[in-house]
Amino acid sequence: MSKNDFQQISTRDAVLTIEDTDNGLDIQHPQNKKLSEISDLIVDILEDKDKFLQKNEIELFAFEKAEDRSKFFEYLTKGMKGYTCIDVTDTYVFNPAKKVLSGEDNEVHITSASLKGTGVNLSEELMNLHSQGFYTWKVIWKAILTDTPSSDLYVFEAQFSNTEECRDFSYIVKGSFKRKDEGSVGAINGHYPNRTSVSLFDEKNLNKVIKQTAWDSIGKLSKLLITEGDKNDNTEK
């Protein structure tokens, strides 16, 4: 190892939090391999002490339809209590590689794509990708406090790092655009152009809103599947 190699090594601190809530212990940490291993170790220890312990994670593995996985992000961006979604600026989609039955080695299958811009969640391009079996696995969106003319414009990001199984859910408050004294709230002319970090207090509260909305979105999907199952069930009861 050269001297330059040593100079490139840096020490980084990360925080893993364990909070006792009404629904049980809530473990949160930044998305990286080491902290995930530590989190799994903590859960293993707890499971050894309590055989009836149930581990719940925000994931879409049980929802196999592409449209259901995409709908999760629709619920997430539009369902934050107390906030109004202004725009979805980035959408990332994924489509698992199809099995090649023709035996041709030169067959091409695009597995991922990304759309950036204004209103990409409503674009014809995204709808076309969804119709081809692509599903959303990551989004970046902007939101304001509902019915608050003085609200800053907040920017959020959420994703499933395991894109194929839609596991390893993570989210982040990317910052906010401060409100001007003029212009319309949520519009370009109503906020300063440079994005700034939010306070630790606001970040903590916003993270709680995102997490709760994600769980609510899972609940909505589950109810939707039950309703669809009842409609398709023609057996006598």
pLDDT at residue 30, as a whole number: 67
User: Against a cut of 0.85, is the pTM above it?
Assistant: no
Sign of CA dihedral 23, 29, 32, 33: negative
Q: Are 151 and 185 in contact (CB under 8 A)?
A: yes
Structure tokens given for 52: 């009836």
The closest alpha carbon to 72, from 225, 229, 230, belongs to 225
CB atoms within 10 A of CB 108: 5
Structure tokens given for 141: 């969106």
Residues 6+ apart with CB under 8 A from 133: 66, 95
pLDDT at residue 31, as a whole number: 66
- Looking up tokens 């991922």, which residue turns up? 112
pLDDT at residue 20, as a whole number: 74
Q: Could you give the 3-state DSSP secondary structure of residue 202? A: helix
Specify the DSSP element, H or E, that contains 39: helix 33-49
Reading the chain (237 residues) residue by residue, the pLDDT tens digits are 555 655 565 566 677 677 777 766 676 766 667 766 776 776 677 777 777 777 778 999 999 999 999 999 999 999 999 999 999 999 999 998 754 444 555 666 789 999 999 999 999 999 999 999 999 999 999 999 999 999 999 999 999 999 999 999 999 999 999 999 999 999 999 999 999 999 999 999 999 999 999 999 999 999 988 877 655 555 443
